[in-house]
Amino acid sequence: MVPATKARFMLVPLLSMIFGMFFFMYWSGNGDITQGDGSKSVLYATCLGLAVSYFLLRFSNRFEHQELVEIGFKGIAELLPLVTIVLLSLTLGASLKELGTGYFIAGIVGEYLPLILVVPMLFIAGAVISFSTGTSWGTFAILIPIGVPLIQALGLPPSLVIAAILGGGIFGDHCSPISDTTCVSAIASGCDLLEHVKTQMPYALFGGALTLVAYIIASIVMI
Tell me the per-residue pLDDT of 134-185, one tens digit each, with 9 for 90 and over. 778 777 877 887 777 778 777 788 899 899 999 998 998 888 888 877 877 8
* pLDDT at res. 59: 85
pTM to 2 decimal places: 0.61
Say yes or no: 54 and 113 in one domain.
Answer: no
Is 198 inside any structural domain?
yes
Q: How many domains does the chain have?
A: 2
HEC profile of the chain: CCCCCCCHHHHHHHHHHHHHHHHHHHHHCCCCHHHCCHHHHHHHHHHHHHHHHHHHHHCCCCCCHHHHHHHHHHHHHHHHHHHHHHHHHHHHHHHHHHCCHHHHHHCCCCCCCCHHHHHHHHHHHHHHHHHHHCCHHHHHHHHHHHHHHHHHHHCCCHHHHHHHHHHHHHHHHHHCCCCHHHHHHHHHHCCCHHHHHHHHHHHHHHHHHHHHHHHHHHHHHHC
Per-residue pLDDT at 168: 92
Which of 40, 63, 86 is the endpoint of a domain?
63
The answer to whether residues 14 and 107 belong to one domain is no
Check whether residue 194 and residue 121 sit in a common domain: yes
Residue numbers in the chain where pLDDT is lower than 70 = 1-5, 82, 85-86, 89-90, 92-94, 96-97, 100-113
Domain that holds residue 174: 98-222
Instruction: Looking at the structure, tell me whether residues 135 and 187 fall in a common domain.
Output: yes
Measure the CA–CA gap between 174 and 189, rounded to whole angstroms. Answer: 16
Could you tell me if 110 and 214 lie in one domain? Answer: yes
User: What are the backbone angles phi and psi of residue 221, rounded to the nearest 5°?
Assistant: -75, -40
End-to-end CA distance of the chain: 66
Judge whether 30 lies within some domain.
Answer: yes
Task: Quote the pLDDT of residue 141.
Answer: 75
Q: Please report the pLDDT score of residue 2 as a whole number.
A: 47
